[in-house]
Amino acid sequence: MNVTDPVCNMEVDEKTAVTTECDGDISYFCSEGCKEKFLNGQICKLPRTSYDLIIIGGGPAGLTAAVYAATLKMDVFLIAKDLGGQAFDSTKIANYMGYDFITGPELIEKFQDQLIHSNYIDHLISEVEKIEPAEGGFIITTAELKKFFTKSVIIAAGMARRKLNVEGEETFQRMGVFSGNIQDLSFVQGEDVAVVGGGNSVLQMVENLQGVARNIHLVSVTELTADPSIIERLRGMHNVEIYELHKVVALKGDRTLSGVTIRKLAGETTVDLQVKGIFIAIGLQPSPILDSRMVNLNDRGEIMINPDCSTSYPGIFAAGDVTDAFGKRIVIASGEGAKAALAARQYIIDLRKRAA
Ligand SMILES: Cc1cc2nc3c(=O)[nH]c(=O)nc-3n(C[C@H](O)[C@H](O)[C@H](O)COP(=O)(O)OP(=O)(O)OC[C@H]3O[C@@H](n4cnc5c(N)ncnc54)[C@H](O)[C@@H]3O)c2cc1C
């Protein structure tokens, strides 16, 4: 059974968690570091709310930045909605240095180990809602309206999945509507499904569904844009029907999804597909964490960074997929995270020198 670490909010397995007993109550922690923080009473008596550096995001960029900052002995805090980011969705990573092959969850487990066991770093599982300038730094506000002061920030909030923006998309989440790489496909065992998208990630989704779903309807608003070899494989699959230049216009169902209506782009012709699941693979967009009044964004909404990961706002650094850096890859995001931590450290040293 999973329980929540009272210090950092992380979900931990009751069987493997670090524990302590106090007045007959057992508390469960992700690490010795969080247990120590709990026992020191920092959490219940005087929670820390001020740091030299706050890192936002727990993907490869944020986790690497955090571990780097810790090894540089910085006063650092990590706030992330999850520890892993998109890398969790990757079933086969064949392009990360040091491994011929590793799965996303395995690689992330190693990153997490470095964060909470090898170099304990203060962290909180939460969503950052606002970053505002303040005297000498920034105020970061989380979804629970907790406020933290920091002299510098690294934004490593990565990419968020694009949505269909069709009514019912939220209501049927995991009750028929799925995004990303789903490990447990039992919900659609032996059923007909729709997959939406036309790029390379569609193949991974269709391959995962082969042997699980009965018929697969592939719906793309454009002609298929995946690599020609992938398109050839998709067209050769006996139970895949392809609807190019079609748009999903309605999701139907009661408690769970029972059907999808698609419409041909040219004209009003609609087709009703009786499906139990719809799998959305229509790409990613930068997380909408900042508005362009604070840091310069490019026309794709990515944060524009300098070679040292600094942005147009002094004290704000950014790393990974959320930036305009070339190449959306784990190894690149990790490298940029390390660079951002080095640059943030230099920024803090310079601030101290100016104050002295
Ligand atoms: C299906 C799939 C397969 C892939 N396969 C590969 C591969 O084989 N090899 C490869 O190199 N790359 C692969 N990639 C790309 C790779 O995963 C990304 O380039 C990499 O994860 C980017 O890291 P990041 O840290 O910049 O962002 P992300 O991984 O997107 O992490 C962002 C983090 O920020 C958090 N966050 C977002 N907003 C907030 C907020 N407001 N407050 C707090 N936290 C927030 C998120 O929860 C997450 O923890 C794949 C991606 C996908 C989707």
The tokens for 14 are 């009751």
pLDDT digits (tens, 9 = 90+) for 246-276: 999 999 999 999 999 999 998 889 999 999 9
Rounded Cα gap, residues 343 and 53, in angstroms? 11
Cα dihedral 273, 279, 284, 290 in deg (nearest 10): 100
Atom of ligand 1 nearest to the CA of 142: 42
Of the residues 10, 77, 81, 86, which should be mutated to test ligand 1's pocket, given the most ligand atoms within 8 Å of the CB?
86
> For position 22, what pLDDT does the model report?
67
Say yes or no: CB of residue 90 within 6 Å of ligand 1.
yes
Cβ atoms of residues 152 and 133 within 8 Å: no
347 Cβ contact partners less than 8 Å away, ≥ 6 residues apart:
152, 310, 314, 315, 317
Q: What residues does 138 pair with on adjacent strands?
A: 133, 150
What DSSP line would sit under 228-272, residue for residue? HHHHHHHHT-TTEEEEETEEEEEEEESSSEEEEEEEESSSS-EEE
Q: How is residue 280 annotated by DSSP?
A: E
pLDDT digits (tens, 9 = 90+) for 146-164: 999 999 999 999 988 888 9
Say yes or no: CB of residue 142 within 6 Å of ligand 1.
no
232 Cβ contact partners less than 8 Å away, ≥ 6 residues apart:
none
Sort residue 267 into left (φ over 0), alpha (ψ -120 to 50) or beta. left
Average pLDDT over residues 66-82: 94
> For position 303, what pLDDT does the model report?
93
Res 221 pLDDT > 60: yes
pTM over 0.85: no
pLDDT digits (tens, 9 = 90+) for 269-322: 999 999 999 999 898 887 777 666 789 999 888 999 999 999 999 999 999 999
Say yes or no: CB of residue 305 within 6 Å of ligand 1.
no
- Spell out a b/e string for 272-297, using b for 16 or more CB atoms within 10 Å of the CB, else e: ebebbbbbbbbebebbebbeeebbeb
The CATH number corresponding to 48-161+285-355 among 2.60.120.430, 3.50.50.60, 3.40.50.1950, 3.30.70.1400 equals 3.50.50.60
Q: Whose CA is nearest to atom 39 of ligand 1?
A: 157
pLDDT digits (tens, 9 = 90+) for 118-146: 888 889 999 999 999 999 999 999 999 99
Of the residues 330, 331, 334, 339, which should be mutated to test ligand 1's pocket, given the most ligand atoms within 8 Å of the CB?
330
Task: Report the amino acid identity of residue 208.
Answer: N
Res 92 pLDDT > 80: no
Backbone angles phi, psi at 54, to 5 degrees: -115, 130
Question: Any idea which fold 177-282 has?
Answer: FAD/NAD(P)-binding domain (3.50.50)
> For position 4, what pLDDT does the model report?
93
Say yes or no: CB of residue 105 within 6 Å of ligand 1.
no
Burial class (CB in 10 A: 0-12, 13-18, 19+), 236: exposed
> For position 24, what pLDDT does the model report?
65
Q: What residues does 270 pair with on adjacent strands?
A: 263
Q: Find where tokens 């970053």 sit.
A: 131
157 Cβ contact partners less than 8 Å away, ≥ 6 residues apart:
56, 57, 62, 128, 286, 287, 289, 322
Q: Whose CA is nearest to atom 49 of ligand 1?
A: 58
Say yes or no: CB of residue 199 within 6 Å of ligand 1.
no
Cβ atoms of residues 271 and 243 within 8 Å: yes
Task: Report the amino acid identity of residue 157.
Answer: A
Q: Which of 20-24, 205-209, 241-245, 301-305 has the highest mean pLDDT?
A: 241-245
* Four-residue CA torsion sign, 51, 56, 61, 63: positive
Say yes or no: CB of residue 330 within 6 Å of ligand 1.
yes
Q: In which residue ranges of the chain is CATH 3.50.50.60 found?
A: 48-161+285-355, 177-282
The tokens for 119 are 């170099």
Rounded Cα gap, residues 175 and 240, in angstroms? 22
3-state secondary structure (DSSP) of residue 24: coil
